[in-house]
Structure 1
Amino acid sequence: MRVKTTVPSKRRKNKLLKQTKGFWGQRKNVYRRAKETLLRSLAFSYRDRKAKKRTMRSLWISRINAALREEGYTYSKFIHTLKTKDIHLDRKILAEMASEHPDKFKQLLNSIN
């Protein structure tokens, strides 16, 4: 008896084409092009989820540094002082304090000096 694979293959192709919705040209509706593009896009997604963490950290550092320079401090000395005083605040929280609550950030600066 001949095995017909029409339904599973059609399902597999439709599943892939559903994921390529919004792509441009043949990349959204021609199976071969769509598959190549989808694999590439998933690789970029994986890579950029890792890169996002580095980007956000550098953004937080820039924000902290800008707030510190207004007060006449440097970033490196500030971080060193926090570590010697055993204050455990991560850069995300410090950046949020610097931009959203500058008065609290100034209190922190005054308390460590």
Structure 2
Amino acid sequence: MSRVKSGKVTHARHRKVIAKAAGYYAARSTNFKTATQAVDKAQQYATRDRKARKRQFRQLWIARINAAVRLFDPAFTYSRLIDGLNKAGIVVDRKVLADLAVREPEAFNAIAAQAKAAMAAA
């Protein structure tokens, strides 16, 4: 049986890994074995952090909404606002609420007033 060399395939695979490792420090960007380890670890972090980013943004939105609600009425809290919105039948997600709280406080206060009225009525 004749010998098979995989020069083109191996070189292409190495080049692909080295391209992903561009910008890494020292041998991590040039040495295939080290670059492979660095790229694999980077992909693990990327996979994990896609989930973490969603959690962090939700925390940020909740903090902004809570701060805006406290400005509207110091006795009114985030959890009471969400309960009031549910009772009033207002369907607005936290991302939009946080954006309203930052960019359009008057609109946010109007929504909060409706939620507070729904809490009092229930």
Greater RCO between the two (CA within 8 Å, min separation 6)? 2
Distance, in Å, in 1 between the alignment partners of 2:111 and 2:87 is: 14
Which of 81, 101, 106 aligns to 1:98? It is 101
CA RMSD, Structure 1 to Structure 2 (Å): 0.9
User: Do the aligned residues in 1 keep the contact of 2:88 with 2:114 (CA within 8 Å)?
Assistant: no
TM-score calculated relative to the size of structure 1: 0.96
Aligned identity (percent) is 35
Q: Report the Cα offset of residue 99 of structure 1.
A: 0.3
Alignment of 1:1-113 (within 5 A): 1-72=2-73, 73-112=76-115, 113=117
TM-score calculated relative to the size of structure 2: 0.89
Show structure 1 runs of 5+ residues with no match: none
**1:20-43 C-alpha deviation (Å, 9 max, x unpaired):** 001111100000100001000000
